[in-house]
Amino acid sequence: MILKGKKVVLRTIRLSDAGRFVKWLNDPEIHKFLQIRKRLTLRQEKKIIAGFLKQKNKNNFAIETKEGIHIGSVSLDVNKDHNHAVFGIFIGEKNYWNQGLGSEASRLILNFGFKKLKLHRIELGVLEYNPRAIKVYKRLGFKREGIKREYIKFQGKYFDNFHMSILDREWKQRYKK
């Protein structure tokens, strides 16, 4: 499946993407914003991707620029019983940060979740020391629901994890199309 925006294209993740994911996920400047803390090998990442491809509730997309450069990933992990999903995103290619590509990729997958998958709710967790992401999520319409206090230990200190969500009616009202 492919979702196209003005700046990015979301496509199905491939096993051939594993090397880039390993590079990104093992980069301390990137994984500090994720809740994954262990280092990954290429073999482990290929196994993870193969598992994602088999699971129907995992909607994982590679984020590419219009020029075809793979820069990150975005996902919705769907719970069909309760009609909601957990959202995740990261831009691994740091020279593509702060260009609006993550925002557009987020809008594309949220639209996919609410319109195509007919989800009622999409939620996420974001670490308190990631103000850039928090700002984007608020701009997309996510509302803060709660805090997992001192959830992550990073560089010897504990940090909170903010829980945010958006409902289908809020999305539809915000993006009437």
pLDDT in tens, 78-120: 999 999 999 999 999 999 999 999 999 999 999 999 999 999 9
**pTM of the full predicted structure?**
0.90
> Would you list the domain boundaries of the chain?
2-124
For domain 2-124, give the fold.
Aminopeptidase (3.40.630)
Residue 177 has pLDDT above 70, yes or no: no
What pLDDT shows up at residue 34? 79
Q: Which of 33 and 72 is assigned the larger pLDDT? A: 72
Q: Would you state the structure tokens that stand for residue 130, as one six-digit string?
A: 């990631």
Phi, psi of 5 (to 5 degrees): -120, -170
Q: Would you state the structure tokens that stand for residue 82, as one six-digit string?
A: 């309760």
Which residues have C-beta within 8 Å of that of residue 154, sequence separation ≥ 6? 32, 127, 129
Residues 3 and 61 sit within 8 Å (Cβ to Cβ): yes
Residues 161 and 125 sit within 8 Å (Cβ to Cβ): yes
CA 105 vs CA 24, 100, 128, 175: distances in Å: 18, 9, 22, 15
Residues 131 and 140 sit within 8 Å (Cβ to Cβ): no
